[in-house]
Amino acid sequence: MEAFSGLTARTISQILIRLLLLVLSTLAGALVGALLIVVASPAPDRSAGRIQGASRSSAEIEAVTAQRDAARIGIEELSSQEPEPAARQILFGDLHVHSTFSIDAFVYALPMFAGEGAHPPADACDFARYCAELDFFSINDHAEGLTEHNWAETRESIRECNDRAGDPQNPDLVAFTGFEWTQTGPTPATHYGHRNVIFSGLADSELPTRPITALPAGVTKRARAMGVVSVLEKMGPLGLGEYADFLALTRQIAELPDCPIGAAGPALPDDCRENAATPAELYAKLAAWGFENLVIPHGLAWGIHAPPGASLDSMLSGGNHDPKTERLLEIMSGHGNSEEFRSGVGRASNDSGTGICQAPTADFTPCCWRAGEIVRQRCGDVRDELCEARVRAARRQVLVAGTAPHLVLPDTAPEDWLDCDQCRDCFKPASDYRPKQTAQYALTRSDQLRFGFIASTDNHAARPGTGYKQYQRRRMTDARGLASPTVERWLRPFIVGTQRDSDLAQRAVREPRSFAGLLDVERGGSFMYPGGIVAVHAEGRDRRSIWNALMRREVYGTSGPRMLLWFDLLNAPGGRAPMGSEVEMAEIPRFEVRAVGSLVQLPGCSDEAEPALSPDRRERLCGGECYNPSDQRVPIEAIEIVRVRPQPTGASTASPEALAALIDDPWRRIQCPPHSTGCVVRFDDPEFPGSASSASYYARAIQTATPAINAANLRTEFDDAGNPLQTTPCHGGFRTAADDDCLAPARERAWSSPIYLDRANF
């Protein structure tokens, strides 16, 4: 989720004064005495917390390994191919986890969002080990919120998590250190998106002294009147400790000076903020440190931060892609799926840059069009010519509103906009879908961009791997919203503005990455999921084996369940080539996919998880439910193969229709035997030898339908002609009951990394 970096004391003071007026009205009786204490009470630095659980037993790890090996051997027996001589084991992890050291996570933990309070990095270790029972994870707090204190605490907490893991050659859990570089541009040309930076090492000598932010240089000079903030932050004794801590953090961030321009890495002083405005600058600064790292783009198609028309083409020039470290692409997270390219989605809302609001189609309603219809409904007895002028004006305002079309009519509710700008036929889509930011679009640029596919959670409550069960939506997803009608009444004008004339649309005014934007989360609540998971084919459980698998792209992602997946090119010149490989060949390629369904979950927690954490901690972190597999598996329904051919090298971006013609989705669909928990399919591509271009292929293994959180998104109702009539959003705030998980059937899936084939010239 987008982190707050508009560090102006004025906006901070506005929101806090509103909150203070609201909360202090309930504390008037004790106010006089408390004020005598406030001025002398500084807000403390937050710590990384205390890890409670020890390592899982070696017997449990051996049992998990044996279970996965048995599934692998069983599926190999269905294949006529010889078993791999040195079979690699599949391990599951999460490479995108935030604690409340991230500013947005901190805000969503506050009482105004009915938050749970602090979830520091130590919580991630205990959750990964005993709630989700992962094999590995990384911590990736937003760099702009990581003070020197918090970054040091993070490094130490991750070291302690690994120290508790047992034998380093066979640990129960491997934890990696990292941060998120969070860049958002207001136009397609200036938008590069979000990237997680992960380091292989643990020691201070293997990690940078400071994270690297995407803040513009000099942004903190916008902060004024910090004396007001420093007074407001001393309000912990009033029972407002969380808000005091938040203000203390924002002041610390604002007071940190930017690092000198022209130097990088160890050449810079420790007590400064190192900024990189572009990916190219980020890579140069990481290179200056000289540490092994991975940089993983994520949040791709999520239009809440990517402007209309945003494209992965921003990676293609200026050194904004580094193939040595940018090896992986996050295809899905708790913020949705970014796999599928849709030629008709997004373009009518100025995705093509034409400035023309196109009419709805059977598959898509543009928000610009919907804004016009909302205004039309308000015309009343106004003459037709004036009404149509208002409609056209509303549509024009949305076309220039960027990521916040609803701000042109701030008195509207999410339901008024129906399902505009949303992909209707995508699997667990990201909100406000941006098709040129998808993984399939990246494959049309495979002449320059070649990624392995992973999934993770992007969880903001230090809960890695939340997708093991579909339960407790408000706890296990990032669905957030204001806690009550009273809080909304006070804050709504600050968040979306005030409607000056109910009959007219108005200009949407909001600074990029503003604090108000951070609070404006209701419409996105229907597109928040427990999140995905990353799997690696590794030679062992140790840190180096996992890292090597990530670097060679022998990885895949799932929408949450722990499916087992293999995808191989059988007749590569050097023998079998696994997913993630790049191969030159001239003959007909032959492929094999093997897939095994995830284990059906039992209620509660395993016998080993029960005593590992105290009852209070287990309840607070796990919510009474852990990864607790039975010996039964969910059936695999089908295997789908997607083939993508690249755009011509050096060509400008093709039209949406031309791009769609390059993407065969699915190119092959093979039904698996009914009720089969494992499925093996083989196929070849006789067209490849005669093709003039390279091609990429990836596999999608699809399970039978099971209930899933937010699988129906806005729960749109349509008329017989397919027009949307109304929505019933799954709100993150008070409008939807906290115990309503908004379940609907979903066919959970796993995506292999692509195999890239180039034509060999002999």
Domain extents for the chain? 43-207+291-342+435-476+528-707+749-759, 343-425+497-511
pLDDT for the residue numbered 42: 43
On whether the CB atoms of residues 195 and 143 are closer than 8 A, the answer is no
Query: What b/e string do you get for 514-544 counting C-beta neighbours within 10 Å, with b at 16 or more?
Result: bbbbbbbbbbbbbbbbbbbbbbbbbbbbbbe
On whether the CB atoms of residues 663 and 438 are closer than 8 A, the answer is no
pLDDT for the residue numbered 719: 94
Name the CATH topology of 43-207+291-342+435-476+528-707+749-759. Answer: TIM Barrel (3.20.20)
Nearest CA to 132 among 458, 739, 621, 752? 621
Rounded CA gap, 244 and 355, in Å? 45
Nearest CA to 97 among 533, 718, 651, 582? 533
Q: How many residues does the chain have?
A: 762
Rounded CA gap, 633 and 563, in Å? 9
Rounded CA gap, 604 and 611, in Å? 13
On whether the CB atoms of residues 340 and 426 are closer than 8 A, the answer is yes
Residues with Cβ within 8 Å of residue 84, at least 6 apart in sequence: 576
On whether the CB atoms of residues 295 and 282 are closer than 8 A, the answer is yes
Nearest CA to 1 among 734, 517, 475? 517
pTM for the structure as a whole: 0.93
On whether the CB atoms of residues 93 and 533 are closer than 8 A, the answer is yes
pLDDT for the residue numbered 26: 39
Beta bridge partners of 68: none
Rounded CA gap, 323 and 268, in Å? 26
Rounded CA gap, 420 and 32, in Å? 51
Peptide bond into 666 cis (omega under 30): yes
Rounded CA gap, 739 and 14, in Å? 32
* Averages of pLDDT over each 10 residues, the chain, 762 residues: 46 54 43 36 67 92 91 83 71 98 92 91 97 98 93 97 96 98 91 97 96 82 53 59 78 86 88 94 96 96 91 93 97 97 72 73 94 96 95 95 93 96 96 95 95 98 97 95 90 89 90 72 92 96 98 98 97 95 96 97 88 92 96 97 89 79 97 92 95 93 98 96 95 94 98 95 57
Nearest CA to 242 among 111, 146, 113? 111
pLDDT for the residue numbered 609: 79
Nearest CA to 23 among 87, 110, 126, 129? 110
- 644 backbone dihedrals φ, ψ, rounded to 5°: -130, 130
- Return the structure tokens found at 282: 């980020």
Beta bridge partners of 91: 536
- Return the structure tokens found at 393: 């004006």
For residue 411, how many other CB atoms are within 10 A of its CB? 12
pLDDT for the residue numbered 250: 79
β-bridge pairing 274-275 and 577-578: unpaired
On whether the CB atoms of residues 726 and 716 are closer than 8 A, the answer is yes
Rounded CA gap, 21 and 568, in Å? 62
* Cα first-last separation, the chain: 49
Rounded CA gap, 487 and 204, in Å? 43
